[in-house]
Chain A
Amino acid sequence: NAGVMQNPRHLVRRRGQEARLRCSPMKGHSHVYWYRQLPEEGLKFMVYLQKENIIDESGMPKERFSAEFPKEGPSILRIQQVVRGDSAAYFCASSVDRPANTGELFFGEGSRLTVL
């Protein structure tokens, strides 16, 4: 039973390029979350999605960032025109239920983005 799969594990981009991070949730999980973690810092919520729907995107920057979770395929976090400040570890997590209903999160190993 595979866990949450994220790829790529490491990604290097130059300023102005696009970064696409992919996340396949655990089998049977329909809730997906993206968190950003800067070095030596905590986990900052970005977006919460259920299949084909964005439930909460209050943590997403208004520009350049977008997320989707299509009916088929993985969830995608897309960062356009990356800047150095986007360098961070991006963690995806999935759950079988909502957090308020005792839905523990299973995290992937993260995608570490470096912007040169």
Chain B
Amino acid sequence: GQQVMQIPQYQHVQEGEDFTTYCNSSTTLSNIQWYKQRPGGHPVFLIQLVKSGEVKKQKRLTFQFGEAKKNSSLHITATQTTDVGTYFCAAPNFGNEKLTFGTGTRLTIIP
């Protein structure tokens, strides 16, 4: 079945540094979604990308969808302590519709 891999698994950065997480799939994706889960919390939807090469921004967050629609990235500029959490990408499987989540990247901030 479809697998969605994310790297890195963990990332520790100084407050103010940038952060990037990458998501890769072995198959072409119809769309990709990004979620954030704070420690002890539940996943919260951030954004969805649909088009090949699409780039979307939300304040300090930049999301990209690859030209081949097999990979995606989330970049955070000048991290803040509020950015702490685990970031997941997720994509639907063709045919059976379930949303498969990536392994996640856990971001910790050093003040």
Contacts and interface: CB of A to CB of B under 8 A. Distances in A.
A104 B99 CA distance: 10
Contacts of A42: 88, 101-104
Among A48, A100, A106, the one with the most B-chain Cβ atoms within 10 Å of its Cβ is: A100
Shortest beta-carbon contacts, A-B, top 4: A99-B92, A43-B101, A99-B99, A107-B42
B97 A104 contact: no
A35 B101 CA distance: 10
B31 A100 contact: yes
Interface size class of B (residues with CB under 8 A): 20 to 34
B78 interface: no
Contacts of B99: 33, 45, 99, 105
A58 B96 contact: yes
Nearest to B30: A100
B50 A99 contact: no
Given A42-B104, A100-B31, A102-B31, A56 B96 contact: yes
24 contacts: A35-B101, A42-B88, A42-B101, A42-B102, A42-B103, A42-B104, A43-B88, A45-B99, A45-B100, A45-B101, A48-B97, A55-B96, A55-B97, A56-B96, A56-B98, A98-B92, A99-B31, A99-B97, A99-B99, A104-B33, A105-B33, A106-B45, A107-B44, A109-B42
Contacts of A102: 31, 48, 50
Among A55, A58, A105, A109, the one with the most B-chain Cβ atoms within 10 Å of its Cβ is: A105
